Amino acid sequence: MVDDKTIEMILTGEEIKVIYEKMKKVNILNAAENASKVQCVAPHEKNKFYLTLDGEVYHREWITSYCDSISDKKLKEFIEFVHHEIIMIKEEYNNLPEPSGGYD
């Protein structure tokens, strides 16, 4: 069994601004509402998204199944952008232990 590792990762004001602009561009709340409800691939990712906007909390969940819908593609691009362009370049991320496990 592999233990989860939790770290504190602080985003800069510029990073937050860039993420916010990307969220607006893909219309993240609408795209998440219209994402595929069926699995087109296995395994698939499960995503949870919480957003507070003007004091109102929004919660969305979707699977990333890449079923060729426009919403799925927009969400995939957003998730990949945040992961590759923001998270993976952070020192905190790069100091994490090597992952173990996977599919045989």
Backbone angles phi, psi at 67, to 5 degrees: -85, 15
How high is the pLDDT of residue 45? 74
How high is the pLDDT of residue 14? 97
Classify residue 9 as exposed, middle or buried by CB count within 10 Å of its CB (0-12, 13-18, 19+).
Answer: exposed
Mean pLDDT by runs of 10 across the 104 residues of the chain is 79 95 88 72 76 88 68 82 94 87 64
Element (H, E) at 44: none
